[in-house]
Amino acid sequence: MSLTDSAARNAKPREKPYKLSDGHGLYLQVEPSGSKLWRLKYRFNDKEKRLSFGVYPSVTLAQARERQVEARRLLGTGVDPGEYKKQTRRAAIVASANTFEAMAREWFLKFSAVWAKSHSSKVLLRLENELFPWLGSRPIASIEAVELLESVRRTEARGALETAHRCLGYCGQIFRYAIATGRAQRNPVPDLRGALPPVKTTHFASITDPSGVGGLLRAIDGYHGALVTRCALRLAPLTFVRPGELRKAEWAHFDLIGAEWHIPGERMKMGRDLIVPLSRQAMDVLRELHPLTGHGQYLFPSVQRATRPMSENTVNAGLRRLGFTGDEMTGHGFRAMARTILDEVLGYRVEWIEHQLAHEVRDHNGRAYNRTAFLQGRKDMMQGWADYLDGLRSPKDVVAVIPKANQSRVPQRITPTGPSAKILSFVNTALKGGAE
């Protein structure tokens, strides 16, 4: 006789558990505590087994019968319904652990250790603001290209096209990581190639003409603002590091005896240590600055709080005060200035220049060079560069343009003539030493 809902509802607990049968192996087990549990008794591979269907009345009699029918259907196809239930539950747990957000955070933790803090914070902020609200809870293996496109188009729609492209790039790396770790089968990002309009490339404004550089250097020498800002403006062309690396420079990272600046990887965009050889001119700037800020952490502390570095706008503001607009020169532009002139005018080896710019330089086996690579050549180059800048400061004399070097990339000598002979002879001496 089949069980009725009324009988199930009115069943009272006894001293020992007892069963109310509904037929076909389905029964309601009433516990001494008063709990009423749905169970299915069945046989699989000649073994008697039991399967739980939940608690009455949360699972009604009708629902329990539906589950019993489904279990019998699985048995008819040779599937153990108990094992099927375990696998389904396990798959749900795995899927919840493999959401896009979970995978993205795992990827971030694994790779951000070698990034600069400023870069890693930007990546995480973009993930949290641009992607997680819409994709975070989705199982990564089930995300299709159209969902990714909808998310990045929200970013594009508010005018942040470059951020949209960057977010799509992050997604590509996250999916590749998920595939490599067995949590996804394919990467939908390549399907979206061309789906976003291209970003219009803009370059940081820079002065690269030698005569213009001379005027800039003379203007910096005449800067009448704060000494800290003046020293930062003077050190920027001599070291041509990134603006963030300059403003966050710490005295502890300077070897004033060996004339080297050792920037740790966590301060670098690419996450790798960099040695910046310091020319005599750069050391002069440090000697002038040290009595003022040498007792603290930073070379260029904030005016408001000495425990923090100066603002990221300070150098650019100093350039504006000198009369250079944002379309003419920026703090980042000192890098383009050095890159252009060291190569096209002074003819130094590209490997030396790129390594000093902290760009990735690889050997013939595709391995990235370490921080001490080309160190002696770079020391000679940095001193030759500083001496060349001194020559450009002369407003009356024209500093000769050095032709492109031959395939060996050895800088050629300048033949000094006229009133510039003394300066140019000094530069030639430095260049001769830099042509190893």
> Catalytic residue numbers?
242, 269, 332, 335, 359, 369
Six token digits for residue 285: 């700037």
Classify 60 as helix, strand or coil.
Answer: coil
Q: How far apart are CA 347 and CA 358, in angstroms?
A: 19
Interacting residues of 200 by C-beta distance below 8 A, sequence separation 6+: none
AA identity, residue 430: A
Question: What is d(CA 41, CA 369) in angstroms, rounded to the nearest whole number?
Answer: 68
Q: Which residues contact 121 (CB under 8 A, 6 or more apart)?
A: none
Give the Cα separation of 275 and 241 in Å (integer): 11
Give the Cβ contact number of residue 363 at 10 Å.
10
Length of the chain as a residue count = 436
Residue in the block written with tokens 């300077």:
254
CA angle 240, 368, 186 (to 5 degrees): 110
DSSP category for residue 298: B
Radius of gyration from C-alpha coordinates of the chain: 35
Give me 114's structure tokens: 């070698």
| DSSP type of residue 254 | E
| Residue indicated by tokens 């408001």 | 304
